[in-house]
Amino acid sequence: MPTNQEITGPRTLPHERPVGKPPVELTGEQVTMYINDEPVQADKGTNVLEACRANGYDVPSLCYIRDINTAGSCRVCIVEIEGSRNLQAACVYPVSEGLRVHTHTPRVRKARRRVVELLLSEHNRECPTCPRSANCELQALARKVGARYGKLASQPRCEPKIVKNPFIVRDYSKCVKCRRCEAVCKNMQGIGVYVPLNRGYETIIAPAFERNLAEVACIACGQCVLACPTASLTERSYIEEVWQALEDPAKHVVVQTAPAIQVSIGEEFGLPVGTVVSGKLAASLRRLGFDSVFSTDFAADLTIMEEAHELLHRLAKGGPLPLISSCSPGWIKFCEHFYPEFIDNLSTCKSPMEMFGALAKTYYAQKAGIDPKDMVVVAVMPCTAKKFEAARPEMTTYGLRDVDYVLTTRELAKMLRQADINLNKLPEEDFDQPLGLSSGAANIFATTGGVMEAAIRTALALTEGKELGRLEFKEFRGTTGIKEAEVELKGQTLRLAVAHGTNNAKKLMERLKRGEKFHFIEIMACAGGCVGGGGQPITGDPEKPELTLEHRQKRAAGLYALDLSKELRRSHENKAVLQVYQEFLGEPMSKKAKEILHTHYTARGKLPGFNFEHLAKPDPEVPVGNPPGLLH
C-alpha cells in the first residue's frame, strides 16, 4: 500500500519560516469583526487583509503573498483600526473579536496614494516598453489608488541591467523592495539566494556581495520571477535571436515544445487555466515560420526508455541506488550545490529537451539531408532553468550545442502577438513526424509524479513480458509534498518516492543521508512540477494565483486528460521511438545511446562561479557536426 507524507497544505506552497511575521495556524474558530461598520465572520488567527478579501473588500497590497511573504514592508495595505492612533498594515494585523476596521477612509486613501507615489518617485519609467507592461502590479496599483508621477521630487534609480547569465536578468531600477523574491527563494524553495543589502534608498535585494546569480547557489528555477510584481526580475530573453534565425534562409529552424506548454499557453490568450491547446500550438508555431514543428513529448518517451532500462540495469547489476531522475535542471543544479554526494545516484539520461536537441542534430539532420551546422534548435519550455541547462558545456553532441535557444511560455506568447497570431482562432494541426509522435505517458511528464508513473508503466511491462492492465498509479499524483509507494517488480518490492519543490527535496535527501532506503526517486525543482515552472504565464494579480498549488493542479488536470485521450499510453509503445532505435541507436543504453543521450554532472559548491564564455567558443579539439556513418 502506498504511504504519503503530508508536507504541504492544500492552499499554498511549502514554506519553512517566512520573511517577517510567521503565519498563525488557523484554529477553525470564527470571530465577529466589523469592516466598514458591517459585521463579518473571520477565521481566528488570520490577518485583517485575508479577512477583508474573504468578505469582498478589495484592500490593495504589494509585498504580501499568502503564507509565503508576510513582511508588512510596503505599507500599501494600510487600514484604519478603531482605537489605534496609527494606520496599520492589514497583512500583519491579526483579527480579533469585535475588531473594527475601516478600509477606505480619506486618511487611508491619502496615505496609500502617498506610499505608491514614493515608490514611483524612484522607479524606472520605461513603462510602455517594459517587459511587464500591461500586467505590472505597480502599474495596476497606481491606477487603483490614483497615484501619479511627478507628485514628489523624483530621483529614479538609473542602473544597468545585470545580464551575466543565460537565465535571469536583474534590473534594480524597477525593484520596489517588496522582498517577495527573497521570501519565495527562502521559504518556498528553501535556498535563500537573495538578501537585502545596503540601507535606505541604496537598499537592493540581491545575492550576498551583489554576486551574479551564476556565481551563487541559485538553481535558476525562476520562482522569484513569478513572484516579482514588476520587471525587476525577468527571464533572459532570446526572442530577437530566434527571429533572426527564422529570417535567415540558410538556417533550418526546428522547434520543440514541452508538454506543459500545451496546457498553459492558452492562458496568455484568455483561455481558462489548464485548457489543452496542443493542436493550436502546433499551428501557431508553423505560422511563426519554423521549418519543423515537433513535440518534446517524443523525447519524453525516449527518456523513459533509457531511464527505465537504466533502473533495471542498476537493480540487476548493483549500481548506485536509489536512481534519481534527472529531467528537472533546477533539481540537478540543486543537487550539484547542496547534495554532491548523491551525484552518482542521478540518472545519466539527459532531459527530454536535450535528448531531442541531440537527436535533431544527428538522426533527424541526416534523415532530412540537413547539415547540422545549418540547423537551429529552439525549445519552448515552462522553465527558466532550461535556459541554464541549454548553456551547460555538458549539453553538446559532436561539438554542437544540443539546443541553441530556449523560450519560455511568456516569450512565445510575445512572439505570437508580435506576429499578430491569435492562438484562439487557429485550426487544430498535428506536430510533424517522426519526432512529433508521443504517448500519454509523455504528456504527464510535466506534472509532479508523472515521470515516476511513466517509468513504472514501462518498467512493469518490460519485466513482465506482457502489457499489464494497470496504467494509472494515482499514489504518485496530487500535491502532497513527498509521496511514497511500493511496487512489485519481477518478484522484488521496490520502494519509490516523489518530491516536488526543493524544500521537499531537501527533506527527502536528508532522509537518504540518514540511511533510509529507496530504489527510485523522482524530484522536480518547482512545486507541482513543470506546470509550475518559472517561465509560465504571470497573471499580474497581487494574490498571485500562479504560485498556488490549486492553479498548478488545473494545468496538471489538462495533462491527465491528454493522457486518457491517447491510444498509446506507454512510452515503449511509441512506434517513432522504436524506429529511432532500429535505424539509429540500436537499443536502450547502447554505446551510441550513451554517447548521444546521456551525460554527467559535477559537484559545484555554494559559490560555483559558472563561466558561460564557452558559448561563443566551440572546443577546437572536438569535430563540429556529425561523424560519418551515424545512421545504420
Catalytic residues: 307, 310, 327, 347, 386, 389, 394, 530
Residue 405 β-bridge partners: 378
Q: Distance between CA atoms of 413 and 277, rounded to whole angstroms? A: 13
**Burial of residue 82, with CB atoms counted within 10 A of its CB: 0-12 exposed, 13-18 middle, 19 or more buried:** exposed
Residues facing residue 12 across a β-bridge: none
Q: State how beta strands 252-257 and 292-295 pair.
A: parallel
Could you give phi then psi for residue 265, rounded to 5 degrees?
-65, -30
Pick from 313, 330, 329: nearest CA to 321: 313
* Contact between 71 and 179 (Cβ < 8 Å): yes
User: How far apart are the C-alpha atoms of 414 and 335, rounded to whole Å?
Assistant: 33
Burial class (CB in 10 A: 0-12, 13-18, 19+), 493: exposed
Instruction: Dig out the grid coordinates for 179 from the structure.
Output: 522582498
Cα 355 to Cα 22, 296, 429, 529, distances in angstroms: 43, 9, 24, 19
**Grid cell for residue 114:** 502617498
Q: Are 502 and 375 in contact (CB under 8 A)?
A: no
Contact 121, 153 (CB under 8 A): yes
Cα–Cα distance, 277 to 629 (Å, whole number): 39
d(Cα 286, Cα 246) in Å, to the nearest integer?
A: 11
φ and ψ at residue 10, rounded to 5 degrees:
-75, -20
CA distances from 386 to 329, 502, 536 (A): 6, 16, 12
> What secondary structure does DSSP assign to 384-404, as a single string?
SHHHHHHHSTTSEETTEES-S
Beta-ladder partners of 496? 485, 520
What distances in angstroms separate CA 431 from CA 128, 293, 385, 441, one per listed residue? 36, 6, 25, 17
Q: What is the SS3 string spanning 123-176?
A: CCCCHHHCCCCCCCHHHHHHHHHCCCCCCCCCCCCCCCCECCCCCEEECHHHCC
How many Å apart are CA 410 and CA 185, to the nearest integer? 21
Let me know how long the chain is. Answer: 632
> What are the strands, taking DSSP E only, across 508-563?
520-524
Whose cell is 545549418? That residue is 374
